[in-house]
Amino acid sequence: MNRSDTAGEPARSIALTRAVSPTIIECELTHLARAPIDPVLATEQHHAYERALESLGCAVERVAPAPELPDAVFIEDTAIVLPEVAIITRPGAQSRRAETPAVAAALSSFREVRTMPAHVTLDGGDVLVIRRTIYVGASERSSAEGHAALRHMLSRFGYDVRSVRMRDCLHLKTAVTLIADDLVLHNPQWVDAMEFDGVNSLEVDPREPFASNALRVNGVVLHDRAYASTRERMERLGLRVHPIDASELAKAEGGVTCCSLIIEV
C-alpha cells in the first residue's frame, strides 16, 4: 500500500482506493449494455478522482492493484467502514470475491476487521449509513441472509440495520446518497424517499437518473460533472459541489462512491 499526502494540511480522512485494472473492459454489468471503455482514460479519471479526494482533506492509500480482477477499482463494494469496526463483505458477483483479502489486510491498520459469513452475499454499494441507522438495499447483489448477518454483526455497536426496497438499478447507493447531515439525493424511480426516516430528500433531474450517486467528503459533495442540472439543484441549496469526470467508470456501472472507502481518523 502506498500513501499520498494532502497539500500541506494534516489529513482529516483516509481514502482507500485501488487502481483501474486493464481488464475493466470485462467488468460485470447488470443494468447497462456494454459500451467500449477506454482503460487509459479510465485511469486518468481515476487519478483525477484521487487528486480531488486529496484536495478535500483525504490522504489516499492505494491497495495493491489486482490487474486480473476487472472490477477491483470499485473498492466500496468490498467493505463497510464504521468508527467501531470494518466489515469485509461477500460480494454478490462471484467474479468479485477475490477482491476482498487485500482490502481486509489494508483495513486492519485502521480498524478491527470482521468478515461476513460464506453463506451470504452483500455489496458495500448497498449500504447507506445515516447517523446510527444503516440502510441496506434489497438488490440482486445482497441477499436477505446478508442483511440479517450485517444486522447481527452490528447490533452490539447499537446500529439499527434496516432493509430498503429498491428497483431497476445495481445498488442502493446508485439510487440514493447522503449529501448533507439531514439530506439525501435520490432518484424516485429507483427508491422511495419515505424509506429514510427523519431526513429531507432532494430529487435528481429526471433526465439524469444516475446523478443520485454523490460522495460527501469533509462537507463537500463529489459529483459526476455530466449531471449539471442536478448539480445546480444542490448548489441552489447552498451545498458545495466538486464536479469530476467519471464517464469511463460510469460505463462499468460505477459511480463516485464506488471508487473509495473513506476512513475517518
- Candidate ranges 22-30, 50-58, 80-88, 184-192; the one touching ligand CIR (CB under 6 A): 22-30
- Candidate ranges 2-10, 23-31, 33-41, 82-90; the one touching ligand CIR (CB under 6 A): 23-31
**Least CB distance to ligand CIR at residue 137 (A):** 10
According to DSSP, residue 243 is labeled E
Q: Does 80 bind ligand CIR (CB under 6 A)?
A: no
**Least CB distance to ligand CIR at residue 174 (A):** 6
- Candidate ranges 37-45, 101-109, 221-229, 254-262; the one touching ligand CIR (CB under 6 A): 254-262
Helices then strands, counting H and E runs in the chain, come out as: 6, 16
Specify the long-range contacts of residues 3-10, CB closer than 8 Å, at least 24 apart.
3/59, 3/60, 3/61, 3/62, 4/50, 4/54, 4/59, 4/60, 4/61, 5/54, 5/59, 6/54, 6/55, 6/57, 6/58, 6/59, 7/54, 7/55, 9/57
# binding residues, ligand CIR (CB under 6 A): 19
Residues 93-152, interacting with ligand CIR (CB under 6 A): 93, 96, 125
**Least CB distance to ligand CIR at residue 253 (A):** 4
Residues 160-219, interacting with ligand CIR (CB under 6 A): 170-171, 173-174
Residue 181, C-alpha cell as written in the block: 447531515
Tell which one of 12, 22, 26, 28 touches ligand CIR (CB under 6 A).
28
Q: Does 54 bind ligand CIR (CB under 6 A)?
A: no
Tell which one of 50, 54, 61, 76 touches ligand CIR (CB under 6 A).
76
Query: Is 258 an active-site residue?
Result: yes
Query: Is 27 an active-site residue?
Result: no
The owner of cell 467528503 is 217
- Alpha helical stretches, state H, the chain: 39-55, 100-107, 144-155, 172-175, 228-236, 247-251
Q: What 3 state SS string does 116-184 have?
A: CCCCCCECHHHEEEECCEEEEECCCCCCHHHHHHHHHHHHCCCCEEEEECCCCCCCHHHHEEEEECCEE
- Ramachandran region, residue 158 (left: φ > 0; alpha: ψ -120 to 50; beta: rest): left
Tell which one of 78, 128, 253, 260 touches ligand CIR (CB under 6 A).
253
Tell which one of 27, 106, 191, 250 touches ligand CIR (CB under 6 A).
27
Q: Does 254 bind ligand CIR (CB under 6 A)?
A: yes
Radius of gyration of the chain (CA): 17
Q: Does 224 bind ligand CIR (CB under 6 A)?
A: no
CB atoms within 10 A of CB 235: 12
**Least CB distance to ligand CIR at residue 255 (A):** 6
Which residues of this chain interact with ligand CIR, rule CB under 6 A?
27-28, 30, 71, 74, 76-77, 93, 96, 125, 170-171, 173-174, 252-255, 258
User: Which residues are part of the catalytic machinery?
Assistant: 171, 258
